[in-house]
Chains A and B, each alone.
Chain A
Amino acid sequence: MDTPSREIFWSIHYGWVVYLLAGAATLILIVAVLRRLRLWLAGRKDDTFTDIRRNTREFVRIAIVDGLAHKRILSDPYPGIMHALLFWGALLLLLASVADGISHYLIEFLRGNTYLAFSFLADLGGVMMLVGVGMAVYRRYVKKPDRLDSIASDSITLGLIFVVLVTGFLLEGARMIAAEAPAAWARWSFLGYGFSRAFAGSSMIGWYQGLWWFHAVLVAVTIGYVALAFPRLIHIFVAPLAVLLRAGGKRGALETIELQEVERPGFATISDFHFRDLVALDACMECGRCQEACPACSAEKPLNPRKVIQDIRARMVKEDMLLARDGMSTVGQDLVALHVGEEEIWECTTCGACRNICPVYVEHVDMLVGLRRSLVEHGQVFGSLARSLEGMCLLGNPWSEPQSQRSDWMYNLDVKLPEEAKASSLLYWVGCSGCYDPKGEEIARSMVNILNTADIDYFVLGFDEVCCGDPARRAGDEGLFQHLARKNIDTLHKYGVICVLTHCPHCYNTFRNEYPDLGGSFRVVHHTEFILQLILDGRLEVRDLKQRVAFHDPCYLGRWNGIVDQPREILNKISGLSLIEPPHNRERTFCCGGGGGQMWIEGAPGKRVNRVRFEEFSSTGIQIIVTACPFCKIMLDDASSTAGAGGSEIRVRDIAEII
């Protein structure tokens, strides 16, 4: 024994039994996953497989960035590091086992220094996992954050992993003593060596053999447990699949339903969900990041995205059990939405904070809107929202204001209407908020002033404009959305519009991401991009503003469409202005509470989301909140004017108003 190495199955009789054990455990696991697969396949599979082929490249990118490098997971430090230790540790151990197998059965390469490196890395992996388990136990049972629900299977899983790891090291130590391995190279397996020092002097061969079998059986038991109980640990297998199915999905666009073909749109039963949604339900291991990011949840409202996903999952599992017992599906019995809770479903602002932070790429917003669609089809719409939708249906805007007053905001302003600007292909899309809400009108008027000052060739539709349909779609009335969208697309084609400029991120998102599905492909520009370009081209001069200012990222601009730098660049061009970042900024912004039809939902329980956000701002000691969305402006201004008696000194402005 001159060169460092290790003999597999050293002094173990009937070692091949371990392969039987492992095989049996793996078989159980495969059967369990296949059984689950049958349940997932109850969902709709349209496009799944073409999507997989198309998205492979994106999946590989995510697998490297978010899988191996843990980018998204590490964004939350403590649980991120905990998971990274467990993941990388397990990965090292897995690689060690594979190397061991290759060395034993194929090419013997684990000799000499290679072996020393191997044993060091394997021990390092084990130690990392042990530390990870320790961190997990401390967090789950000592710190007990709100977002974690601890159930029995968590303790069992952690316990099994812990015992497997510890017996592994003890076994290593016992082997070293029993085999009288020279200390010079046993030291490389540092933890095992440590144990061997602790028990040095006694004959450990019996212990070694006992521990060996105990360890091997326990590993098989762990795999069997994961297969049979489907604890959170199953995400090892399901999460990559869920991510593969999600990768490359369109950002900011909800699913377009072919209404001619679908009898009842929406997720009424489990079989209405997509295959990928059902897989994602099982991939969710309730880390609770969505719960922490959710504005409704932070405002103590009943909605909790984690609970929503788990409720749907519980429904799915129940359906599976009924399927197994009765041999027939109970599909079509009752709405999944009622299982989740109507109140929860109508609380969502569709801000996307949850789906943006989810480490396994669950699309909470898609599912919630799908549930809303099923509720709408059954006539169950939150009271005040129903009136807004009706207004959109009858009059073309959610404010229920007459179409004949759509151009009132232009009063006393030099606005170019289609008749006057035949040659222009640039449309300034004002949107309902710019036409009907006083706070929105101010933005539209500032915008027109900017366009006129910079001498831009543009035009405004005036009476021909109707709502872009965003509130209808997010509220679940897909038919109304498509009706409005088609109307707008026809109008825009009639006037030969190529480029659409808008100051509303909701309109922007709808035009850019959702209209192409309905045959309306236009170049869409948000006014922050446009103003920045004007400034860079020297066509627009900015005023001075000696104020402390914070920028509030609108969800549909920053998070859904990734426009976060342009508004900041504009603000940095203003001399005298000092820009202060609130705690939630850029892609991790906190919703104003106005999206997803929430603008028209009154009297919901809990705190008001706009107030929560406003308090965050007022604690930073700023004078002006600048935003780039009429909805955010309205919501935050409301919060400002009702903060305490007589309102707050903090003013809320759109970026177009301070240039």
Chain B
Amino acid sequence: MPVDYQDIKQQIQQNASQSGQQQKEIQDRLKKAGELLEQYANKLDFLQQRVEAAARQFGLRCACPLREPLDFAADPPAQHIRPVVLAADGSQVNPSRHDEVIFGLINVGLFRMAPGEVPGESVAGHLFSDDELYPARGGMISEDLVALKRDLEERNFLLQKAGLEQGPVLALVDGPLLYRKPRDVSGAHADDDVEKAFAEFLAVTEEMAGRGIAMAGYVDRPGADLLVRLLELADTPPDELAQADRHRPLRRVSDVALLSGRLKPGQRSAVFALESSDARVFSEHTRPHFFYLNVGAGRPYLARVEIPAWVADDPDVIGAIHAVLVEQCRMMGPRAYPYALNRAHEIAVVTFEEKRQIGMMIAHELSKYGVAPEGPSNKQAGKNAMSGGRSQYHG
């Protein structure tokens, strides 16, 4: 049965009629946020103390300024180190009990760009073993753990390939450097496999830092309000600080909205430390920091760039990352996004046809050992039948 367009249309009209007022409220809050940004722009010691005090009292997730004022804006440096860019991206096949053959796969694509050289590409695939698919605690591997293992494979591949380079390396990944552990595997529900994979994730991050491999996580169209949250915290009266986690006067104002008019094309914001309980799991050396970058050539288009603490402490490396990312984004024309990451994604992606082929290869191999696949679930078979389309009567 098709969608009930009449009913949906009424709901659309109702939502749209409310959006004008909501937009006005958000604009008012944005104006207030802008005023607070200017008010606290240079009060870095006060802000750092506020964050420290609040973090001790409740789980806080916000920006913490370092040395640059809040309204800082810098153009990319004209002269900078020219590193080899290694971009990695992973894609995964999550195992599904509805599939004809149950398997899980991580495929990591790596793209290398060096000045004056023909770019190179490599790919590494990891098919989950039976033990990985079916953990000792029961059930099947979770999608969260598959995603964590994918991020781990990306970093391991970057580490391996960076080891082959002679000069400075910039290792790029899509998305944050921070790993936010899912709540259902934290604390009392801790999952040994997640803990083990996360420990490896931290270890490889540490090793990259130890070898001086500059790493950056590129977050496209970020929706976070880390800087806005800092301003809310700064504006909270001292006697209400204990309740500051519920004090959200600037709700629905994003950092991107706040900084869009303040960063000209190619400019970056100040570098901030990322304050959160997840970030504190990292060592002092590798703790995630970030800055915003306007990669738009005309209209502002902001990305968040996450970097480890040791990179945030080195202006030359920040300058190189800033300049390289602007260059990379401009390579893509009007839809600014790092070219190397786009290519890494293209290399990594597992198409539906490739997934089907791998399923057939596994079924063929299993048949040699007398193991026959169960076939698709009835639910999946029904879906497949519906997507087969209709045949026309030709007489």
A binds B: no
